[in-house]
Structure 1
């Protein structure tokens, strides 16, 4: 009962939020160099992306699994690249999730927040937006976010942006101005990243200071690396670790729990079936059944190995479902012969 009350409060807080998240494609697919132990590298890449933990390969409880990484591979193919041969490897999602579950490591599903990054570089006292996709910092940013499974939004830096936002605004963290300009991109998260040159042991190094705000709190981090690729990989790892702590869910090794949610505005059979499929694709959900259909709404019972809070964190980033705010919403309703918790009502959104 306490768990459902806490979740109900969370739903009320989220009901006014507009969420337009991205779905990470190929969450369990790795792209690694063909040289060396590519099977181990593929397992490490996928585990890092799904858990949000950049140091997961160092976990002693997983040491034995990396020695038998081939057991997690479903498909692979060799890919020729100008910079060397690579392997495209598809891992078994069920086995990967079970491995994390057995070791009490949270799993972060494919529906993740869209992240808008304002990137500024300072050279010899001059600050400028990193605007062109071919710039090393920009190219490294896109590659690193892709490998980490972080949906990236890049500003257009067009007249609308440049007339209302300056490099100094981003460098200094003037959030009121930044948030106003960012509205047009409809991001879930806005990140400011400022890059300059520093020295470490007498050697020039790249330094990145980044920050984001959420619920009145500002998160900051500083990263120093030798080159653009290493800098952005560390940036993506740092951000991914933060977000995974918030949105990833530990899957219980015990029996599944049942939750019921109601979805409105289902005007035809294809929509009814599509919602069922969307729910079945969520991490930790083992079964979805329709327990009631009336007019244009349906109730779905979900059997899941994650908590109600974890389930809500996943649902909030589904672009097809929007939480309905209702006063005096009953926390429990009778479903068929038994009492099942109806922990939220959603609206189906046609895209």
Structure 2
């Protein structure tokens, strides 16, 4: 079990990069998948390539419905045409095939199909889970060797949903007990969570009920809204399934679907544009980093420098979605700090292009860097 756990942790580490100072995670290698195979037979390789294609579609859209879209189903039949390379490797005595796909062509397929595209920067979720094993209830910890934790690692990778678990050291144990999570005593769990870096937290339970397993979960933001007296769940989900694995899959999928609704962006088909500015940009390296960052965001079609004045740089942006989509996505990134909004009339620039007079508010950001 420990060797198997280490294997999956190693695989998970390939896909997620979490900064100790960040509240979000960057999910990498969205164009590749690792699929278990029984042998190197041609027919098994063909099946594995198709499964890998499904995996990367799911990672890049975050939603199961993408797999049933006619354009995706059509491409599935010729999945190898988007493949760039594949190779076999053995992990803990088990044979896997690693398949890589052309990321630009994959995203182009999803855009043309009108499907949401989920970028690399994703919310980090703190998971408070009570599991019931042989009538003994416990909170799944970061150091747990439970098979449930292994399944969470696998589903986290499959969905591209970064998860962290509480340490359950003395500090945690003094604040949060099994009944706090089972009873959805949100305040206790929210207070205990503040020591961790995360964007959202989940309170969940999985327990046997006769011949099935019953699960329930609630997803909460890190902080309550300014006009709210307490935290309220963003989503709730519950059900009965045949196995613990299916319960974990359902919990992870519910969180993924919510995040897709917030951070994955489909092409609206409209010619939407906006402007944003970054202040305190004093080096060319910063400007290059910012422009590179903007051009890789799933909300942005193109980004280009419009005007510069001193250390303030304004960008012209063409968008896939609307401005709210863009700002919500940027707010997630720990490298960026929101400063204020200001009208164009209040800003004096050296212009790179003719600009019409604009009264619209421009959002100002500060780039903290890598």
TM-score by length of 2: 0.80
Work out which of the residue numbers 146, 161, 172 in structure 1 matches 2:157.
Answer: 146
Distance 1:82 1:107, change over 3 A: same
Give distance in 2, aligned partners of 1:226 and 1:233: 12
Which residue is 2:13 aligned to? none
Q: Does 1:186 align with 2:193?
A: no
Residue 205 of structure 1: aligned partner: 212
Structure 2 gap ranges (5+): 1-20, 38-43, 226-230
Find the counterpart in structure 1 of residue 115 from structure 2. 105
Q: Deviations over 1:71-104 (max 9, x none)?
A: 2212222122335322212222222222222222
Alpha-carbon distance in 2 for matches of 1:92, 1:285: 20
CA contact (8 A) 2:264 2:298 kept: no
Change (3 A) 1:332 1:77: farther
1:250 corresponding residue in structure 2: 266
Task: Report 1:1-351 matches (<5 A).
Answer: 20-34=23-37, 35=44, 37-82=47-92, 84-123=94-133, 125-131=135-141, 132-199=143-210, 204-214=211-221, 217-218=232-233, 219-253=235-269, 257-325=272-340, 329-330=342-343, 336=351, 337-339=354-356, 343-350=362-369
Deviation at 1:253, TM superposition (A): 4.5
- Compute the displacement of 1:331 (Å): 6.7
Equivalent in the alignment of 1:13: none
Structure 1 distance, partners of 2:156, 2:345, is 41
Judged with a 3 Å threshold, the aligned counterparts in structure 2 of structure 1 residues 333 and 304 are, in CA distance, closer, same or farther, namely farther
- Structure 1: 5+ residue stretches without partners: 1-17
User: Residue by residue, what CA displacement relative to the aligned partner does 1:55-79 show, whole Å, maximum 9, x if unpaired?
Assistant: 4323344321111111221222212
Q: TM-score, normalised by structure 1?
A: 0.84
Higher relative contact order (CA 8 A, sep 6+): 1
Give the Cα separation in 1 of the matches to 2:212 and 2:77. Answer: 35
Count of residues paired in the alignment: 327
Deviations 1:259-301 (Å, cap 9, x if unpaired)? 2211112232222221111112212534332222333221122
Partner residue, 2:11: none
Distance 1:269 1:257, change over 3 A: same
Distance in 2 separating the partners of 1:178 and 1:48: 31
